[in-house]
Amino acid sequence: MWLGLVPAAAFAGELLAVVNDAIVHDADLSAANSGISIEREEVPLARAALLPRLDGGWGRAYNQIKTENQPTAKYWQNGWMITLTQPVFDWERWIELRQANIASAKAELEYASAWQSLVLRTANAYFDLLAASQDLGRANDYLHAVSEQHDLIQRLRTGGEATVIDVQEALSRLSDAQLRRQDAIRALESRRRALADLTGRPASLDAVTGPARTKPWLKSQSLQQWVRQAETRSFAVQLGQLEVRNASEVTDKARAQRYPVVSLSASHSPSGAASGYAEPTTTNTAMLTISAPLFTGGANQARIRQAMAGEEKAEYKLLAATRKSAADTREWFQRLEWARERSNSLRDIVRLNESSLQATRLGYQAGSRSNLDVLRAQEQLFNSQGEQAKAQYQMLTAFLALKAEVASLSLGDIQALDAWLAPDTQEN
């Protein structure tokens, strides 16, 4: 289905620029990006534990040999050594390599989730600023209309055609309109600061009002399509799946501690002459070792049971994440539908209120309507316009939240929305 939205226009490319500024400025996102580099290095570290290792060294030793009925021999001896070690079979190290790959994938998912969350927060902050700017524009229009009505009542009172009650009602509504304008100014400044905190630069957005227009942009899928995607693609579900894989590796790692470890080592150690007491010697050694735990006091069995419990916990957490993603998707889909229906209804209500205000003003001039009726009609129009704008931005927020729930929110969506929000001269 196609959703037609009619908010006030914004500057072309402004939303995309704001989102890009937030991506560059956000320290938490940069930290998450560094986390990817950290976890990626765990893979070569784990792989290195499976590869040959070559060590070398040099030493100078002081020797003292005491023999009964013989002079004590004291001498210095120099020598160097090179040693090669190679794991032949160590299943625990192979599992650690698989865990390192899982950790690297998890870091990338966490970064992608943080990136998407930042984009969503920034877009919502931008919508809030647009809404606050529109609110100020409506507050100015309302104050202007009430001021004109107040001036009219003052003139009529001077001519004896208006009562004291009419003047008091007009003055009361004028004070209320002035207060609303002050509140709108404060709200706009607050929204500016909130967006500036995200982007690192002052938000220089002015209200740009344009004609009401209906341009198709948002095309929603069926509810079941959204839910199926959320149950398999949401970042919470993907991270949960990685946790289940890692928990399974932890169980295998605990079992691997019962397996033998086979290693091969070789060394070459030439030694210098021992100050006349010995000739230079060279020692070459090669050794194959096999070690296996014979008795651990039940520690291995406890580790296995503990790891299996952790695996079960990860599976339940994945189930909870899947259910929550599906529930959140249903909620945002319903909010999208409700906001669309509400926006359509409010658009008709605004038109009716505009006609009602015009008719009430004519009735007041003819004497069939009171000053209070005019003021009430003005307030109803102001409130309905505000509610309509609120519903329009709720639709945008709900759709972007839906995209985020299925881990598909991208700069392409922001760019498409930016182009849709920008003013144009051609009606689509």
Q: What is the pLDDT of residues 116-173, one digit of tens each?
A: 999 999 999 999 998 898 889 889 988 988 888 788 888 877 877 777 887 888 888 8
Give the model's pLDDT for residue 96.
93
Confidence of residue 40 (pLDDT cuts 50, 70, 90): very high
Q: What does 338-371 look like in DSSP terms, one character per residue?
A: HHHHHHHHHHHHHHHHHHHHHHHHHHHHHTSS-H
> How far apart are the C-alpha atoms of 327 and 3, rounded to whole Å?
23
Q: Tokens at residue 48, please? A: 């290195």
Q: How far apart are CA 197 and CA 202, in angstroms?
A: 8
Q: Which residue has the higher pLDDT, 295 or 215?
A: 295
d(C-alpha 207, C-alpha 139), whole Å: 12
pLDDT at 275 over 50: no
Cα 53 to chain center, whole Å? 42
> What is the structure's pLDDT at 28?
93
Whether the per-residue pLDDT at 12 is higher than 60: the answer is no
Q: What are the structural domains of the chain?
A: 2-54+79-421 (1.20.1600.10)
In this model, does residue 183 exceed pLDDT 90?
yes
Mean pLDDT of 364-378: 78
Over residues 323-354, the pLDDT tens digits come to 999 999 999 999 988 988 888 899 999 999 88
Task: Report the predicted TM-score, pTM, of the whole model to 2 decimal places.
Answer: 0.81
Instruction: Please report, for residues 65, 177, 281, 329, the alpha-carbon distance to residue 62 in angstroms, rounded to integers and kept in the order given.
Output: 10, 97, 16, 76
Phi–psi pair at 407, nearest 5 degrees: 60, 40
pLDDT at 49: 92
The pLDDT tens digits for 42-95 are 999 999 999 999 998 888 777 777 888 888 777 777 778 899 999 999 999 999
According to the model, what pLDDT value does residue 427 have?
39
pLDDT at residue 67, as a whole number = 80
Residue 423 has pLDDT above 70, yes or no: no
Cβ neighbours around 130 below 10 Å, total: 25
Pairwise CA distance, residues 3 & 336, whole Å: 10
Angstrom distance (rounded) from CA 293 to CA 35 = 36
pLDDT tens, position by position, 250-274: 999 999 989 999 999 998 888 654 4
